[in-house]
Amino acid sequence: MSRRDLVPVGLLAIVLFVGSRLSARFLDAPYLLDTLNLYVEAGLLATGMTFVIVCGEIDLSVASTTVLVACVVSKFLGPETNPVVLVAMSVAIGSLLGLVNGALVTIGRVPSFLATLATMATYRGVAQAWLGPFSAKWPVMKGLDRAHLGNSPVPWPPVIWLLVAGAAGLVLHRTVFGRQVAAVGTNAIASRFSGLPVERTQLAVFALSGAMAGLAAVFLGSRLGVVRHDLGRGLELDAITAVVVGGTSILGGQGSMAGTVAALLLVAAAKTAMGVAGVKPEVQVTVVGVLLVLAVLAGNMAGLARRKAPTQA
């Protein structure tokens, strides 16, 4: 962990402290672990989003991708399914939807915020047109219905998320691909001149983000047992907030997976602390929105982010 990662960790400690002062019922390990289940989807989306943002792009369509994958999978697979097939299919469809985003950005040269804004509406639109107002049953994964790790109160989904994030962190920080992503995010034109496969890298990060959204669909579906077109609205906000608060530069080029994980835990803790303290949900979302802007603002003001043309998104 670098010094930058200590920022969200420190904040997490503060939130836990403040939360415990606000309500005596906040610091309760089984409850907090159980609540963490609710943030696994956002966590996976943030993991993929870290790559996208380090690459200098953004993916607003992640929540819609998750919903569309969930709808497609529950329509095509039977009531009981081999978990391997289920996960593989979800991840594959997610990657495909991510590739569409990537193609719009690389081949169509549409700025990513517009391209993914359009797919955000389109993907959810397809899900809604297809399922209509009804729910679809999520297939039961045979043999994988144990919710907890052994006899401990530790639930499985967050553990899996942490493993995935750990692997993704290794890819981002320790591999050639990871360095390419950062290089393209720092300066795409210079990367092109130095012979890096810029388009392929961009395609790959969008596919990766889509794959994570597909995996998130598995957890969302299993948690609820049914899927509908209106699930997970606003998840992209949680994911982007986690990435940016975690110290990844919104302008691309540098980022930290550990920071994203810590920041997601921070968002989860802050929302849960507010929820337990009886803060109205409408105040909670406002806080997350403000937190996002403040994190970027603070980063810029402290001069941590490198200077770039102000108009680039």
Partner 1 sequence: MLRTLIVAGAIVGILAAGCGPAPADKPTSETPGGAGSKLRIVFVPKSAGNPYFAEVSKGLEKAAKELGATVETQAPTTADATSQVTTIKDAVQRGCDLLVISANAPDTLNDVLDEARKKGVTVVTVDSDITGNETHRDASVLPVDQEKVGPALVESLASLTGSEGEFAILSAATDAPNQNKWIAGMKETLKNPKYSKLKLVDTVYGDDEMQKSTTEMEALLTKYPNLRAVVSPTSVGMGAAAQVLETSGRYPGGPKANGTGIVLTGLATPNQLKKAVEKGVVTKFHLWSPAEMGEIAAHLGSMLHSKKVTADVGKTFDVPGMGTKTFVDKGVVYVGPLTTFDKSNIANFDF
Partner 2 sequence: MTVLVVVAATARDPRFLSPQTLDSVLLWLPVLLVVALGQMPVIVTKGIDISVGSTVGLVAFSVGLIGKVNPSLPVPVLFASGLALGALLGSLNAVLVAIAKVPPVVTTIGTLTAFRGMAFLVAQGKQIDTNNVATALTDLGRNGVHLGPITVNWLLWLAFIPGALLAWVLARSAIGRTVYAVGGNPVAAALRGMDVKRILFSVYIWSGACAGLAGVLYLGRYGFVSAASAGVNLELNAIAAVVVGGVPVSGGSGSVLGVLAGCVLLAVVNVGLSVLGIAADWQLLAYGAVVMAALLVDAVGRRAKESSVVAA
Which residues of this chain interact with partner 2, rule CB under 8 A? Answer: 58, 60, 104, 107-111, 113-115, 117-126, 128-129, 132-133, 229, 234, 237, 240, 244, 250-251, 280, 282-283, 285-286, 288-290, 292-293, 296-297, 300-301, 309-313
89 close to 96: Cβ distance less than 8 angstroms = no
DSSP of 1-67, one letter per residue? --HHHHHHHHHHHHHHHHHHHH-TTS--HHHHHHHHGGGHHHHHHHHHHHHHHHTT---TTHHHHHH
Q: Minimal distance in Å, beta carbon 130 to partner 1?
A: 14
154 close to 26: Cβ distance less than 8 angstroms = no
216 close to 40: Cβ distance less than 8 angstroms = yes
Q: Does 280 bind partner 1 (CB under 8 A)?
A: yes
The upper half-sphere exposure of residue 8, i.e. CA atoms within 13 Å in the direction of its Cβ, equals 30
Between CA 85 and CA 80 the distance in angstroms is: 11
Q: Does 139 bind partner 1 (CB under 8 A)?
A: no
Q: How many residues does the chain have?
A: 313
| Options 176, 189, 302, 309; binder of partner 1; rule CB under 8 A | 302
| Options 81, 245, 250, 309; binder of partner 1; rule CB under 8 A | 245
> Binds 313, which of partner 1, partner 2, none (CB < 5 to 8 A, cut-off by type)?
partner 2
Nearer to partner 2, 151 or 311 (CB): 311
> Binds 7, which of partner 2, partner 1, none (CB < 5 to 8 A, cut-off by type)?
partner 1
Q: Minimal distance in Å, beta carbon 66 to partner 2?
A: 16
Q: Does 298 bind partner 1 (CB under 8 A)?
A: yes
| Residues 202 to 241 in contact with partner 1, rule: CB under 8 A | 223-226, 228, 230-234
Q: What dihedral angle (degrees, nearest 10) is formed by the CA atoms of 201, 205, 207, 208? A: 130
| Options 177, 237, 279, 308; binder of partner 1; rule CB under 8 A | 279
> What residues have CB less than 8 Å from 103, skipping those under 6 apart?
203
86 close to 291: Cβ distance less than 8 angstroms = no
Q: Minimal distance in Å, beta carbon 179 to partner 2?
A: 23
| Options 79, 143, 278, 310; binder of partner 1; rule CB under 8 A | 278
63 close to 234: Cβ distance less than 8 angstroms = yes
- Stretch of residues binding partner 1 (CB under 8 A), selected from 68-76, 90-98, 193-201, 282-290: 282-290
Structure tokens at 155: 């639930």
To the nearest 10 degrees (0 to 180), the angle between helices 62-76 and 235-245 is 130
Q: Does 140 bind partner 1 (CB under 8 A)?
A: no
Structure tokens at 123: 């993907």
Q: Minimal distance in Å, beta carbon 73 to partner 2?
A: 19
Residues within the interface to partner 1 (CB under 8 A)? 7, 10-11, 14-15, 18-19, 22-26, 28, 31, 34-35, 38, 132-135, 223-226, 228, 230-234, 245, 270-283, 285, 287, 290-291, 294-295, 297-299, 301-302, 304
